[in-house]
Chain A
Amino acid sequence: MTDRDDIDMLAAEYVLGTLEPAQRQSVETRRSHEPELDRAISDWEARLSPLNTHYDAVAPSRDLFAGIRARIEGAAQATRQAASQHVPGVVEFAKLKRRLAVWRAGALGAAAIAASLIVVVLSGDLNSPVQNGQFVAVFHRDDTQPAFVMSVDLETREVTIRPVEATVPEGKTYQLWIVTEETGPKPKSLGLLENIANPTTKQLGGFDPAMLRNATFGISLEPEGGSPTGQPTGPAIHGRLISVAQ
């Protein structure tokens, strides 16, 4: 059996739903940085989705949406509060995040993002001057809750990562990564986020501001002391850089 066939069968069983919980979790983590696996999953979803015709529609209880509305509005407010508390001036945080989604849906092949290693980071406005720019990114855990907020000051080339709801499993540490055009396709470590109870600041003096602006940032969970391989090994969370209106 070839590796490719292994990946294909893993994807097939993931879509079918027959993997054990730990295997499912591992596939979900791997697909964010293994384009081949991600593609295989999408292909299997397309092959098997006609089976969805077997599901009959069943009306859920009335007023279920009220709970959903409360949660999405509550989450938007919590994100706003967290952001404004930690990043002065970023009061419209949730709105910015959604604006990014609109921009991204319309302007860029999102497949490229999905397939990218940790997720492409770009500003919302590609034409604004690079100088004096403040940018922020929200890092999500499981794509649901914000775990970190990152701000980048392109003038001082300083990156600050503030925890929102991040916790560190025992024996683990978070590691910050960057991918730029100049440093090639492999992520380059920017070091560990050792004490996540406090903001961590990294000086990125070695990077050109224009390059930073278009860089990819990621945070992965690694064994204590950092990745043993020099590349992200653990579950990665991703952030998308958004320009903050001055």
Chain B
Amino acid sequence: MTSTRDLENLLRQSIEGNTDAFEQLYNATSAKLFGIVLRILRNRAESEDALQDIYVRIWQKAGDFEPGRASIITWMATIARNRAIDIVRRQRPEADIEDADIETLISPGSAFDQMAVADEMRQLDHCLNDLEDDRQQIVKLAYIEGWSRAELAERFAQPVGTIKTWLHRSLRQLKECLGT
């Protein structure tokens, strides 16, 4: 298992132009990032194209990484998720989703567990559990699956404006619960 420090060292060498170090960084992290992109884009070929863009971007932005602000894997995951969301939002801005089974979509994963987020996850889980069931689900579907407001509106048979209100209330409640 590659430690966070190993990953940071590989990134540092990448900043100096070492493409072999960058390949090692890719090997250690690409399955995690691919899991994110695939989950949101739900198309393998498209996700692989996106993954290539994401690593080119990580290479270019490597100098922006600030240890201490976020873990390296969180930083990389944010870049990957943002890219996937950008793509999916441009592609299907309107509701166009199959009647997917929410329970199977939100499967508990463990890919990031080694990254010392267990405590934070416990706290966030606790706060999510305080939300009403459907509010909890819209937050998770939006974040994890990349659903738009329109898709959520269709799924929960509510006007888009109501979904926005639910989202804002849920997010405020989460923020308060997390106390950050």
A46-B70, A48-B143 given; A57·B111 CB < 8 A: yes
B121 adjacent to A60 (CB under 8 Å): no
B30 within 8 A of A: yes
Q: How far does the Cβ of A55 sit from chain B's closest Cβ, in whole Å? A: 4
Interface string of A73-104 (1 = CB under 8 A from B): 10110000000000000000011001111101
Cβ contact within 8 Å between A98 and B17: yes
Given A53-B109, A55-B39, answer yes or no on A68-B56 (Cβ-Cβ < 8 Å).
yes
B9 within 8 A of A: no
* Contact B117 A54, beta carbon cutoff 8 Å: no
In angstroms, Cα B65 to Cα A18, docked, is 25
Interfacial residues, chain A to chain B (CB-CB below 8 A): 8-9, 12-13, 16-21, 24, 42-43, 45-61, 64-65, 67-69, 71-73, 75-76, 94-95, 98-102, 104-105, 110-111, 114, 143-144
Docked-complex contact B15 and A102, CB < 8 angstroms: yes
Q: Are B31 and A73 in contact (CB under 8 A)?
A: no
B19 to A72, Cβ gap below 8 A? Answer: yes
Q: Are A49 and B93 in contact (CB under 8 A)?
A: no
Chain B residue contacts of A56, Cβ below 8 A: 35, 107, 109-111
**Which residues of B are found within 8 Å of A60, using beta-carbon distances?**
30-31, 34, 47-48, 51
| Docked CA distance A228–B63 (Å) | 34
User: Is A52 a contact of B63 with CB atoms below 8 Å?
Assistant: no
Whether B38 and A58, one on each chain, are in contact in the complex, defined by CB atoms closer than 8 angstroms, is yes
Using CB atoms, name the residue of chain A closest to B24: A65
B62 contacts which of A48, A73, A101 (Cβ < 8 Å)? A101
Assuming the contacts A52-B77, A69-B19, asked whether A57 and B32 have C-beta atoms less than 8 A apart, the reply is yes
B111 nearest CB neighbor, chain A only: A57
Q: Determine the distance from Cα of A73 to Cα of B70 in the docked complex, in whole angstroms.
A: 28
